[in-house]
Chains A and B, each alone.
Chain A
Amino acid sequence: MTNMIKRVGVVTGRVLNQLRRDHRFVGISLVFPLVIIYFIKVVFDALASPSFNISVYVVPYAAFIIHFITFILTAIVLVRERTAGTLARMFVSGYNPIEIVSGYLLAYTVLATVQSLLVLIELNWIFELGYDLGQLASIYLVMWVLAIVSMAIGMLVSNFARNEGQVFPFIPLVLLSVILSGIILPIERLPEWVQALSFLTPLYYVNEVIQKLIIGDGLFDDWPKLIGLLAYGLIIVSTATLSLRESD
């Protein structure tokens, strides 16, 4: 066990070291969500009307942006590891799937921590959300968990792609999650069979928890959804680990 923890630490250290050098990747991960959120602000300003409650939309939209960008970047980076042959080399050097997936997740969690924080600071600043510190901390926590879950989804998808191009067919599924999550339209207004599918996207759980936080409820008031998000993440991480192929 101690050896496994050490080896996870070695993988994490290596990935962080790479991230430190890969300014483009870090730049895209951190700056793109901020730019997109700014454009959402421009659009919302144009739509401004007294009856339009912006805050119901902006936080879930920001969550989706984090979800989408984190998913796609993680998937591509991991596919690159497979095509470059470094993944095979890691396996031959004795690393196992748990060590590799955990190492990557821990390293990218550092990035997710910064990314979620910057997004929340921007949201609070440009939309003047006026939430108290407790609300902001709770929203931050939910977004942070979502970012980690999105990375795990990226890892899972990368296990089924032989090259970067094969990641792209999965993008529509992520876009579909906007509809299924209830961000655009409350899911109660959708047909029942579509509502059943909403459980398949992490954004559903995130949106449900965020909507409660926005109206002033506590983080654990809708605990089943919060547990749902964590369970969802756990299932995805486990599936990503189990499906990481050492051989074909």
Chain B
Amino acid sequence: MKQTTAVHTQKLDKNFGEVKALKSVSLKIETGQIFGLLGANGAGKTTLIRLLIDSTKPSSGHLTVSGFDPTKGKRAIRKLIGYMPQSPALYEDLTPRENIHFFCQAHRVKNISQRVDDVIAFVGLSERAHDPVYKFSGGMKQRVSLACALVHQPKMLLLDEPTSGIDPKLREAFWEHFRELTSKGVTIIVSTHQMNEAMYCDRLAILHQGVLLADDTPRQLLWNNRSRIKIWSGEQVTEKDLINYPEQLPGELQSYGLDSTVSRIEIEEDTLETVVLRMINEQEAGHLREAKDDQYD
């Protein structure tokens, strides 16, 4: 039977000593999606990815990856996944070719030489394939690192900030390739703190200080939030918040009909960045309130 849920977490907690890196995170990631983990540094994105590859154990809660519990079925999971860590994690004395070859051998890839050529060409490093990695810039190392994660054509890709330090043109190519992979049924879980990249995802989880603030499609996240309409009619300027802009807008404009005094209409939509910042501020304000309440209890 085909597995439709790639990842399922229930009330997942991870503590590092006193630090609570993840607090009761419940998520469901469907197969074949690009699922984005969005949040600032320290939000818990990397911790969540590390839990999925069993590089760290949960403090409490439950999670499955392709139906397997990572703590019990890690061998099975590791055959299915490709992992690109935040730091390049490469052997710097070796060339990209040698690095990629090593991980091909680990995964027992067939026709290794051809596969190495293919992934090197994909990340645009054919010209530098025989130079040692220590001579590379940060962005180039990221490219080699991504190539290493792709070698065995995994069913699930876990990418921890894959495009940091990469030029816009190549970034575009990466996302095109990610989209191509998902069309073949590959699930991609990608962490990022870049809002424009988050819009490429099918679904987004917004994390802040280990708390899951939202889990929705980027479009829905934007629609659920505020937009503003500003209408200039004669000397008068009317401003209004629109809660559900696409559905509320016609009603708002109906009252004006085709009034010739209306000289200008502006609609200010929240950007994803504004939405995320608002969520963070609301969460922090909530925390502050809780802390104050505790003080007076």
Contacts and interface: CB of A to CB of B under 8 A. Distances in A.
Contacts of A21: 93-94, 132
Contacts of A17: 94, 98
A92 B132 contact: no
Contacts of B87: 84-85
A188 interface: no
A192 interface: no
A10 B132 CA distance: 19
Contacts of A95: 106
Interface string A86-107: 1011111111000000000000
Contacts of B92: 84
B56 A92 contact: no
Interface in A70-124: 84-86, 88-95
A89 B105 contact: no
Interface string B97-117: 010001101111000000000
A184 to B, nearest CB: 39
A85 B78 CA distance: 16
Given A92-B53, A92-B81, A94-B78, A22 B89 contact: no
Nearest to B89: A85
From DSSP, what is the main secondary structure of chain A's interface residues? Answer: helix
B106 A7 contact: yes
A118 to B, nearest CB: 23
A93 B55 contact: no
B14 to A, nearest CB: 11
Contacts of A88: 53, 55, 85, 89
B93 A89 contact: no
B89 A84 contact: yes
A93 B107 contact: yes
A197 B92 CA distance: 41
Given A17-B98, A92-B78, A247-B54, A86 B106 contact: no
Interface string A153-172: 00000000000000000000
If over half of B's interface residues share one DSSP class (helix, strand or loop), that class is named, otherwise mixed; here it is loop
A221 interface: no
B54 A93 contact: no
Contacts, number: 68
B90 interface: yes
Given A10-B105, A247-B57, A89 B94 contact: no
B148 interface: yes
Given A10-B105, A93-B78, A18 B94 contact: yes
Interface in B197-221: none
B75 A247 contact: no
Interface in A1-57: 3, 7, 10, 14, 17-18, 21-22
Interface residues of A, number: 22
Contact of A247 (B55, B81, B90, B106): B55
A246 interface: yes
Contact of B56 (A84, A85, A86, A247): A247
A12 to B, nearest CB: 11
A94 B107 contact: yes
A246 B132 contact: no
Interface string A55-72: 000000000000000000
B245 interface: no
Interface in A209-248: 246-248
Contacts of B86: 85
Interface in B248-283: none
Contact of A86 (B81, B89, B108, B132): B89
B56 A14 contact: no
B57 A86 contact: no
A88 B94 CA distance: 18
B35 interface: no
Interface in B135-160: 148
Question: Quick one: which of B53, B79, B106, B148 has the most chain A CB within 10 A?
Answer: B106
Interface of B: 53-57, 74-75, 78-79, 81, 83, 85-94, 98, 102-103, 105-108, 132, 148
Interface of A: 3, 7, 10, 14, 17-18, 21-22, 84-86, 88-95, 246-248
Across chains A and B, which 8 residue pairs bring their CB atoms closest together, nearest first?
A85-B89, A93-B106, A21-B93, A10-B105, A92-B83, A89-B89, A85-B85, A18-B93
Given A10-B102, A18-B91, A246-B54, 7 more contacts: A85-B85, A86-B90, A90-B106, A92-B53, A92-B78, A247-B54, A248-B57
